[in-house]
């Protein structure tokens, strides 16, 4: 397929309606970007982006209830027939990227070709122009040969790659994501330009980088493909130097390779539906780069927690994600043996936190798979999982599960509220973890009395 070829698309009714409405009174409206790429690849797009010759005010005026929030001229049209909003963007031309991050000036453009020229890669720089009449039949607008590149399995920047990456360094990472997602080779000039510009990625805003990394991790393609490509192109050392440092760190595991190979395999083994868990898989062994001594990685999980925390802070990850990844890295080396008492199982749950267990077992399964340990019985994880579930369902595991409160202790012992009461509650919990039958009001008060006087 090439520029100007006819192409019919089976459009959702809402999308056809929006296109028709915009094409009245001399307006032009086209499908653009990812959805055209998906159609050319023979796939059904997840969302439909429309570009138009009308300025944003005129678009918003045609669709009551639409919202227009940003400076880039994108209007979100809420169509009664469509489930999600359809984004309509005014044709634009961009100029001036002084900071390699965002255009300084956005100007509305007058033609779809002008709009396509400011897009990143040829496969993303195609549009579909509906024929006169109703939107169903139409033509491909493909001035940069995106369809031919897709057919040849090539990812190529629009125009001069150095200029494109100079304008916006995020395109370096987007290029890796797209190449990996669609299994494309990088066109040599594009590849060389990415390599040359890789250091520029250091100046990107944390939010944009994090968003791209999470999109890689949430994709159907194995994340190892994108991260290995980032390494080859020099981007990994710029964006995730802690991970790049695992290259060459030896491992003695049934599956060969070094600690970076192992980490990439661990990310692949976790579900795409949980990209943050995949990130924990990617980062779980960061500590191995700094702790190797005499063939052992002493306390690498603690060093790893610190390093993973630094990565998450640098990416400005939300607090909850930072904590989740940090805790997973810290606890991923847990052990188990069938001779553990129930009290040992309770102490394990208490140390790790009941809320972390599902993630932690998933991470460990991925870690085992990435090490070449295939026997699900190894380590007895299934048994530990059952035993933790049983103690969580039935046993007191936290201070709030105790049969007495701090107030009870204050009233019974005549000690003022304060740190002593806190320490007593903690000591009572230790006793109850050991022996849950102690968890009655009378027995705990008696225990507390003897502790307070002892
Ligand atoms: P997806 O299916 O992942 O949403 P997409 O191609 O729609 O893929 P978006 O990030 O939603 O990806 O971008 C929409 C379109 O906007 C792209 O197809 C591309 O044409 C253009 N685009 C997005 N980001 C950039 C950028 N940084 N520089 C140039 N063009 C961009
Ligand atoms: Mg999109």
Gap between the Cα atoms of 237 and 199, Å rounded: 9
CA of 377 relative to ligand 2 center, distance in Å? 43
Ligand 1 binding pocket (C-beta < 6 A) is 33-34, 119-120, 124-125, 168, 170-171, 174
- Average pLDDT over the chain, rounded to whole? 92
Give the helix/strand (H/E) hosting 289.
helix 288-291
Ligand closest to Cα of 36 equals 1
**Other Cβ atoms within 10 Å of 36 Cβ, number:** 28
DSSP letter string, 205-230: -HHHHHHHHHHHHTSSS-HHHHHHHH
Residue nearest to atom 17 of ligand 1 (CA): 33
Residue nearest to atom 6 of ligand 1 (CA): 34
Give the pLDDT of residue 296: 81
Mention every residue, 6+ apart, whose C-beta is less than 8 A from residue 437. none
CA of 295 relative to ligand 1 center, distance in Å? 46
Cβ–Cβ under 8 Å, residues 8 and 138? yes
pLDDT in tens, 3-41: 999 999 999 888 999 999 999 989 999 999 999 999 999
Give the pLDDT of residue 176: 98
The percent of residues in the chain predicted with pLDDT above 70, rounded, is 94
Residue 252 has pLDDT above 90, yes or no: no
Give the pLDDT of residue 292: 82
CA of 127 relative to ligand 2 center, distance in Å? 14
Residue nearest to atom 26 of ligand 1 (CA): 120
Residue nearest to atom 4 of ligand 1 (CA): 34
Residue 88 has pLDDT above 70, yes or no: yes
Work out the pLDDT band at 313, boundaries 50, 70, 90.
very high
**Other Cβ atoms within 10 Å of 417 Cβ, number:** 11
Gap between the Cα atoms of 89 and 70, Å rounded: 11
Give the pLDDT of residue 159: 95
Integer CA distances (angstroms), 100 to 19, 95, 121, 172, 200, in order: 33, 11, 17, 11, 8
Q: Which of helix, strand or coil describes residue 89? A: strand
Work out the pLDDT band at 79, boundaries 50, 70, 90.
confident
Work out the pLDDT band at 68, boundaries 50, 70, 90.
confident
- Helices 441-453 and 406-413 sit at what angle, rounded to 10 degrees? 60
Q: Which of helix, strand or coil describes residue 85? A: coil
Give the pLDDT of residue 254: 84
Q: Which atom of ligand 1 is nearest to the CA of 45?
A: 2
For the record, the structure tokens of 292 come out as: 């190797």
Gap between the Cα atoms of 172 and 88, Å rounded: 26
Residue nearest to atom 8 of ligand 1 (CA): 34
Work out the pLDDT band at 454, boundaries 50, 70, 90.
confident
CA of 94 relative to ligand 2 center, distance in Å? 19
Range with top average pLDDT, 45-54, 92-101, 222-231, 373-382: 222-231
Give the residue-averaged pLDDT of 333-356.
94
Cβ–Cβ under 8 Å, residues 419 and 406? no
Mention every residue, 6+ apart, whose C-beta is less than 8 A from residue 179. 155, 185, 186, 226, 229
Residue 185 has pLDDT above 80, yes or no: yes
Work out the pLDDT band at 72, boundaries 50, 70, 90.
confident
Q: What's this model's pTM, rounded to 2 decimal places?
A: 0.91
Mention every residue, 6+ apart, whose C-beta is less than 8 A from residue 35. 45, 47, 48, 49
Residue 421 has pLDDT above 70, yes or no: yes
Residue 99 has pLDDT above 70, yes or no: no
Cβ–Cβ under 8 Å, residues 24 and 130? no
Give the pLDDT of residue 81: 66
Choose between 291 and 436: higher pLDDT. Answer: 436
Domains contained in the chain, CATH given:
6-149 (3.30.460.10), 153-239 (1.10.110.30), 252-395 (1.10.3210), 401-453 (no CATH)
Ligand closest to Cα of 46 equals 1
Cβ–Cβ under 8 Å, residues 189 and 161? yes
CA of 76 relative to ligand 2 center, distance in Å? 13
Give the pLDDT of residue 270: 98
Residue 112 has pLDDT above 90, yes or no: yes
Give the helix/strand (H/E) hosting 74.
strand 74-77
Q: Which atom of ligand 1 is nearest to the CA of 33?
A: 18
CA of 35 relative to ligand 2 center, distance in Å? 8
Give the pLDDT of residue 96: 62
Residue 379 has pLDDT above 70, yes or no: no
Question: Long-range contact list for 434-443, CB < 8 A, 24+ apart?
Answer: 434/343, 435/343, 436/346, 436/395, 436/396, 439/396, 439/401, 439/402, 439/403, 440/403, 441/403, 441/404, 441/408
Residue 209 has pLDDT above 70, yes or no: yes
């Amino acid at each position: 397929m090439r520029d100007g070829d006819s192409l019919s698309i089976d459009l959702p009714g809402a999308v056809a309606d929006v296109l028709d409405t915009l094409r009245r009174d001399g307006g032009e409206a086209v499908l653009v970007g990812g959805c055209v790429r998906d159609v050319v690849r023979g796939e059904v797009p997840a969302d439909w982006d429309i570009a138009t010759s009308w300025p944003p005010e005129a678009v918003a005026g045609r669709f009551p209830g639409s919202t227009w929030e940003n400076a880039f001229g994108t209007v979100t049209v809420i169509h009664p027939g469509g489930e999600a909003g359809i984004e309509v963007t005014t044709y634009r031309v961009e100029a001036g990227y002084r900071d390699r991050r965002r255009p300084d000036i956005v100007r509305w453009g007058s033609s779809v070709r002008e709009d396509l020229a400011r897009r990143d890669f040829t496969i993303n720089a195609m549009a579909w122009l509906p024929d006169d009449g109703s939107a169903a039949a139409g033509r491909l607008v493909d001035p940069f040969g995106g369809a031919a590149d897709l057919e040849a399995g090539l990812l190529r920047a629009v125009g001069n790659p150095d200029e494109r990456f100079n304008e916006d360094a995020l395109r370096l990472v987007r290029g890796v994501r797209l190449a990996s997602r669609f299994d494309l080779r990088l066109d040599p000039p594009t590849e060389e330009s990415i390599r040359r510009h890789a250091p520029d990625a250091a100046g990107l805003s944390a939010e944009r980088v994090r968003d791209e990394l999470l999109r890689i991790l949430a994709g159907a393609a194995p994340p190892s493909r994108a991260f290995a490509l980032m390494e080859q192109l020099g981007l990994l050392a710029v964006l995730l130097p802690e991970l790049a440092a695992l290259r060459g760190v030896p491992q003695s595991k049934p599956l060969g390779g070094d600690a970076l190979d192992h980490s990439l395999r661990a990310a692949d083994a976790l579900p795409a539906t949980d990209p943050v868990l995949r990130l924990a898989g990617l980062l779980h062994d960061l500590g191995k780069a700094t702790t190797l001594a005499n063939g052992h990685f002493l306390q690498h999980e603690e060093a790893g927690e610190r390093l993973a925390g630094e990565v998450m802070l640098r990416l400005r990850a939300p607090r909850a994600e930072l904590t989740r990844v940090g805790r997973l890295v810290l606890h991923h080396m847990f052990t188990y043996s069938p001779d553990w008492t129930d009290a040992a199982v309770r102490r394990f749950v208490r140390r790790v936190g009941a809320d972390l267990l599902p993630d932690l077992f998933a991470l460990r399964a991925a870690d085992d798979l990435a090490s070449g340990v295939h026997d699900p019985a190894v380590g007895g994880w299934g048994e530990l999982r059952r035993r933790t579930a049983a103690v969580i369902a039935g046993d007191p595991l936290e201070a709030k599960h105790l049969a007495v409160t701090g107030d009870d202790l204050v009233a019974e012992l005549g000690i003022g509220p304060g740190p002593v009461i806190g320490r007593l509650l903690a000591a009572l919990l230790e006793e109850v973890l050991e022996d849950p039958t102690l968890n009655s009001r009378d027995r705990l008060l008696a225990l507390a009395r003897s502790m307070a006087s002892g």
